[in-house]
Structure 1
Amino acid sequence: MAPPPPAPRRRRRLLPVAVLATVLLLVLAGVAVVLRPGPVAGWLGDDAAGPAAAAQVPEPDPSPVLAGPDANAPLPTAAGVRAAVEPLLGAAALGSRVNISVADLTTGQSIYARGGDDGTVPASVTKLATGVTVLEARGPGYRIPTRAVAGANPGEVVLVGGGDPTLAVDGKGFYPGAARLDTLAKQVKQALGGTAPTKVVVDSSLFPGPVHGPGWDDDIPTGGYGASITALMTDGARSDPEAARKTFDDTHGAAERVPRPDLTAGRSFARLLGLGGDAQVTPGTAPPAGGAAATGAPAPGTELGKVESLPMIRLVDIMISDSDNVIAEALARQVALARNQPASFVGGAAAMDEVIGELGLPAGEISLSDGSGLSRNNRISPSLLTDLIALAGKGDHPELGAIFGGLPVGAWSGTLGDRYRVDATEAGAGVVRAKTGTLTGVHAIAGLVTTAEGRLLTFAVLTDRAPAGDSDVSRQALDRIAGALAGCGCR
């Protein structure tokens, strides 16, 4: 069977050699946590740590090609940072409220803040909190199961959603390496033996409550960036995953979504089992295991097959690099399940708040209504974001370092691929690595920046009262701030 298609990639422009070297440096720094041997081999399901690998002669460490960030670089001063950024905070394109926090990544020490503790609408920067909390709650190696169990009557198959938003129908799915319904169907046919499938029951009861988030703009469920959040779906609820993959660059990831992702997935599964009409697919719940079996048929509730998602470390990477809202909402519900909360918008928000507190971060500075940042009800302070990034980068929680692998790089990749290319922002090309967020009137950026003297800082700038005009102008105003940090020693 043909392997899954390659991942969608945004176009990357050529960079000057010096900037390219810096990009490579940041990428290496950001993914140092995933070098083997180490825990990530196990998180990714790598068997390299097995007995056969142990008998091999270990490869020597690679020779250094680029110097890392200078651990001895001088720490910027509050006065230096203030002089660099304050003249830029009053830009009209940023509106009347601009809150900022700048801290040293190595020590976590705050260097400069204005409105740093004030809750601000974060937009998609929310995904940093979602990534950290799900990595802490579930662990980087956790995989989300999708199961099929025997129904109450012979031939009935119950497809039980576990909350994997990347599940594919077959090898033509949107997300490379995703679990597949055709694999599950083969398992079911084998488990049923001589019993022919007669009906598919779709169980998406794991996610209770509304399928659209509180505080979402009216056009989000149909605008291509959001979807109905159900425990069972395929390809992030995209109606045409192949077309969405091919047009990813041109549409910036927007794609038509199906209104009932769970039933759509059930119909695809029914076809794979050889069932034809939609009448053979109905919503319901799986029967409890242990019931009496009909002659020659599995007992109701018996597991007939199971497939599992990519490991959590990869799901977080995709969520951040592509700013995938549907994955974000599914991962927030995984935090809820790990903390015995309902896997709903309310339960996910409560569980994320709980994990933030467990990590020793100021939970009073975050108030969420969803995990993607589509909700205008969300509030996060800039200082909580810099604290969170510093915690992930310190090494005390190596599993949290996975959030860095997907961060876009200025003038190079992701949502920053076309930014940091004009004179006032070029200092940030290759040295700003950050998550962005945009809603009408809301613009945010949070991540890492290396100063001209080699000090690695974490920063967050959030504005939620920006004029509703040209978003590009507002984003450039944000980029000038990060570019100023990159271009100075700030002492």
Structure 2
Amino acid sequence: MVDAATGDSLYAKNADLMTTPASTTKVLTAATVLAARGPAYRLVTRAVAGAEPGVVVLVGGGDPTLSVDAGGQFPGAARLDRLAAQVKKALGGQAPTRVVVDNSLFTGPETATGWDSDLIGAGQVARIQALMTNAGRVKPVHNDVGGDPRFSDPSLAAGKAFAKQLGISSVSKGKAPAAASSSAPVEGVAAGSELGKVQSPPLVHVVDWMLQQSDNVLAEAMGRQVALAAGKEASFDGAAGAMQDKLLELGLSSDEANLYDASGLSRHNGISPALLTEVLTLAANGTNPEVSSLFGGLPVAGWSGTLRTRFVTPAPNQVGQGLVRAKTGSLSGVNAISGALVTTDGRLLVFAVLADATGESGAARQALDRIAAKLVTCGCQ
């Protein structure tokens, strides 16, 4: 527990012990991607002309919030129907014949070391690909307790949805031709030339959604943006290395994080409570405005996101409602919470509590909430 204004540690126990962090990992993901890309950065999905007449290549830009149409999961998301309209206009009289899906921005395995084998089947996450709609969901609906069915191949599903918008059904996988291709223009459209593009909302909004709903796919996409900004490969390993490098660059204890993914689903991850409070202190002290913007996405106790139904029972925990903003984390046998709160004397504290040998998760969550609620009531002199 740290006083955000002074940086003074008010209480610590095993603070430097790296512990399984579950989804509190997303606090590090939020801080590093905001520092690496900036809150205003947007993710771009493009369509380019293929090497053959009528072929349209849909190029994934790593935007997991992409929507098929107005009925998407994420407000203000880029839309495939709008991209299709641009393509039709750019092609002029040339009728589209086939969609090729270019998923090459992300590399390496599509699932991380340390992920439980049933995570995708249970709908907790999708295969991590550079092109998908609604974070890989079959239907653009978020279930508070998880279990959102995901496409087995999110990029191919997005390609099929795009083809439907173009009025065709033929879809395959491949790579876009280089923009400087020597291929002759086909009815005025040169191979590799851009036919249209759509942009995500500003990155800060994507990070807000990631934190509010603890969206694992968004987290992995954000980790890869840290890697791309650093010139590293957009893979699980590339993201983990780039995130730790960015933490070091920010003056934080990067050696107190051992990362295998950016979402916290990996049971191999280790993060110390001290590092989590360091990140939150940096965000709170105003010295890095980009990192400070992560606070907007932290769920509010009893009000929003993953804390909407927390701090309800037992009754003494209710004092934390509206005064605690935090990221939670849970895996089987693992429970964590890290965030900020305001005490009765108006002091802003940042805190992290990680437990990796818990029993029944409901009781464990209430116990963690009780700690934060008690801090709200204290004078902390």
Query: Normalization by structure 1: what TM-score?
Result: 0.76
**Distance in 1, Cα, partners of 2:185 & 2:368:** 66
Aligned partners of 1:432 and 1:447 also within 8 Å: yes
Aligned partners of 1:415 and 1:436 also within 8 Å: yes
Aligned partners of 1:237 and 1:261 also within 8 Å: yes
Structure 1 segment 135-146 matched on structure 2, within 5 A: 135-146=34-45
Instruction: Give 1:350's aligned residue.
Output: 241
**Distance in 2, Cα, partners of 1:204 & 1:448:** 38
Tell me by how many angstroms 1:253 deviates: 4.2
RMSD: 1.2
Q: Which of residues 276, 290, 312 in structure 2 aligns to 1:399?
A: 290
Structure 1 gap segments, 5+ residues each: 1-101
Instruction: Give 2:322's aligned residue.
Output: 430
Tell me by how many angstroms 1:104 deviates: 0.7
Instruction: Give 1:11's aligned residue.
Output: none
Instruction: Give 1:262's aligned residue.
Output: 155
Instruction: Give 1:451's aligned residue.
Output: 343
**Distance in 1, Cα, partners of 2:369 & 2:39:** 31
Aligned partners of 1:212 and 1:221 also within 8 Å: no
Q: Which of residues 95, 108, 118 in structure 2 aligns to 1:209?
A: 108
**Distance in 2, Cα, partners of 1:396 & 1:294:** 52
**Distance in 2, Cα, partners of 1:490 & 1:181:** 52
**Distance in 2, Cα, partners of 1:264 & 1:123:** 29
Tell me by how many angstroms 1:353 deviates: 0.4
One-letter amino acid of the counterpart of residue 445, structure 1: I
Instruction: Give 1:360's aligned residue.
Output: 251
**Distance in 1, Cα, partners of 2:146 & 2:91:** 40
List, as ranges, runs of 4+ consecutive aligned residues in structure 1 with deviation greater than 3 Å. Answer: none
Tell me by how many angstroms 1:490 deviates: 2.8
Tell me whether 1:195 sits opposite 2:87 in the alignment.
no
Tell me by how many angstroms 1:295 deviates: 4.3
Tell me whether 1:118 sits opposite 2:8 in the alignment.
no
Superimposed CA distance per residue, residues 431-475 of structure 1 (whole angstroms, 9 cap, x where no aligned partner): 1111100000100000011222211100000011223xx211011
Tell me whether 1:149 sits opposite 2:15 in the alignment.
no
**Distance in 2, Cα, partners of 1:436 & 1:294:** 54
Tell me by how many angstroms 1:225 deviates: 1.3
**Distance in 1, Cα, partners of 2:11 & 2:380:** 11
Instruction: Give 2:306's aligned residue.
Output: 415
Superimposed CA distance per residue, residues 24-48 of structure 1 (whole angstroms, 9 cap, x where no aligned partner): xxxxxxxxxxxxxxxxxxxxxxxxx
- Helix, strand or coil: the match of 1:306? strand
**Distance in 2, Cα, partners of 1:196 & 1:188:** 10
Superimposed CA distance per residue, residues 216-269 of structure 1 (whole angstroms, 9 cap, x where no aligned partner): 11111111111111000011111122xx25xx3xx5343100000000000111
**Distance in 2, Cα, partners of 1:360 & 1:283:** 42
Aligned partners of 1:103 and 1:458 also within 8 Å: yes
**Distance in 2, Cα, partners of 1:460 & 1:353:** 19
User: Is 481-490 or 158-167 further displaced after alignment?
Assistant: 481-490
Tell me by how many angstroms 1:300 deviates: 1.1
**Distance in 2, Cα, partners of 1:471 & 1:366:** 24
**Distance in 2, Cα, partners of 1:140 & 1:114:** 34
One-letter amino acid of the counterpart of residue 14, structure 2: G
Aligned partners of 2:311 and 2:369 also within 8 Å: yes
Tell me whether 1:480 sits opposite 2:373 in the alignment.
no
- Helix, strand or coil: the match of 1:202? strand
Query: Normalization by structure 2: what TM-score?
Result: 0.97
In structure 2, relative to structure 1, the CA distance for the partners of 1:295 and 1:146 (3 Å cut) is: closer
Structure 2 gap segments, 5+ residues each: none
Tell me whether 1:132 sits opposite 2:31 in the alignment.
yes
**Distance in 2, Cα, partners of 1:411 & 1:167:** 29
Tell me whether 1:328 sits opposite 2:219 in the alignment.
yes
**Distance in 2, Cα, partners of 1:221 & 1:213:** 11
One-letter amino acid of the counterpart of residue 176, structure 2: A
**Distance in 1, Cα, partners of 2:29 & 2:81:** 30
**Distance in 2, Cα, partners of 1:373 & 1:323:** 10
Tell me by how many angstroms 1:367 deviates: 1.1
The structure with the larger Rg is 1
Superimposed CA distance per residue, residues 338-381 of structure 1 (whole angstroms, 9 cap, x where no aligned partner): 00111011100000001000000011001111111111111110
Tell me whether 1:440 sits opposite 2:332 in the alignment.
yes
Instruction: Give 1:289's aligned residue.
Output: 179
One-letter amino acid of the counterpart of residue 431, structure 1: L
One-letter amino acid of the counterpart of residue 364, structure 1: D
- Helix, strand or coil: the match of 2:12? strand
One-letter amino acid of the counterpart of residue 255, structure 1: D
Aligned partners of 1:195 and 1:297 also within 8 Å: no
Aligned partners of 1:149 and 1:303 also within 8 Å: yes
- Helix, strand or coil: the match of 2:128? coil
Tell me whether 1:107 sits opposite 2:12 in the alignment.
no
Aligned partners of 1:154 and 1:297 also within 8 Å: no
**Distance in 2, Cα, partners of 1:116 & 1:167:** 39
Structure 1 segment 148-297 matched on structure 2, within 5 A: 148-241=47-140, 244=141, 248=143, 251-276=144-169, 280-290=170-180, 291-297=182-188
Aligned partners of 2:130 and 2:155 also within 8 Å: yes
Aligned partners of 1:148 and 1:184 also within 8 Å: yes
User: Is 136-145 or 475-484 further displaced after alignment?
Assistant: 475-484
Q: Which of residues 310, 318, 321 in structure 1 aligns to 2:209?
A: 318
Tell me by how many angstroms 1:427 deviates: 2.8
